Structure 1
Amino acid sequence: MSIPNEALQKILQEIGQKKAFAERQLVVVKQQKTLKNIETRKLQLTASEMESLPKETKVYEGVGKMFVCTPIPDVKKRLSSESEQLKSDLTNLDKKEDYLEKTYQNSKTSLEQVLRSGGN
């Protein structure tokens, strides 16, 4: 049983679009993961520097165009919550990356099968 050329062309186009979309999204997700990892590293470095400071040291945080004196425990709490949020974001990005990789591979396999069968 042969598939008409128009239908075969439409199937190939749909699978190709799905594959290309997954490929583009994979690039975006990998970039986002890289940025999140950089941010995580910055938070770790900041937290380790905070640990080495004496308790009476004044710490300032940027708020808009000004700096506000903030107690060290408050800064540590903020760093901790940001770190937890980044871990959560990275977990979600890992799941999204897995899904997109599977979609990409499935699309690639489907294209190969359609091309191998030649519409038969």
Structure 2
Amino acid sequence: MAIPNEKLQQLLQEISSKAQFAEQQLGIVNTQIASKKRESRRLQLSDTEMDALPKDTPVYDGVGKMFVLTSTGEVKNRQAKEAEEIKKELANLDKKQHYLETTFKNSQDHMEQILKRGG
């Protein structure tokens, strides 16, 4: 039983749009992952530099457009919390990336199957 051309064309168009959407979203997610990795690396480097400082060194933390004198311990604690948040965000982005890659691959496979069967 063959699928009518109109239905086949409509089905291919839907699958194609789903694949394009997944590909666009995948590009966005990849950019977000790269950004989060850079931010994580910056926090690691900052933490390493702070470890090299003597304990009584004055440290200024940016708050809006000004800087506030804080202790190195407070800054390290804040950065540790930020690093944990980034890890969680990266884990979520990795899951989203895997889902979008799977969706894109499945869409391509479905289009190939339809074209082989229909053609």
Give me the TM-score of the superposition, normalised by structure 1: 0.97
Would you say 1:93 and 2:93 are equivalent positions?
Answer: yes
Q: Give the superposition deviation at 1:74.
A: 0.7
Query: Which 5+ residue runs of structure 2 have no aligned equivalent?
Result: none
The runs of at least 4 aligned residues of structure 1 exceeding 6 Å deviation read: none
Number of aligned residue pairs: 119
Q: Secondary structure at the match of 2:67?
A: strand
Q: SS in structure 2 opposite 1:50?
A: helix
- Give deviations 1:22-41, integer Å, cap 9, x for gaps: 11111111100000000000
Note the C-alpha offset of 1:6: 1.1
Which residue is equivalent to 1:48?
48
Q: Percent of aligned positions with the same letter in both sequences? A: 54
Gaps of 5+ in 1: none
The Cα offsets for residues 19-66 of structure 1, whole Å up to 9 and x where unpaired, read as 001111111111000000000000000000110111110000111111
Cα RMSD after superposing both structures:
0.8
Normalised to the residue count of structure 2, the TM-score between the two structures is 0.97
Q: SS of the residue aligned with 1:3?
A: coil
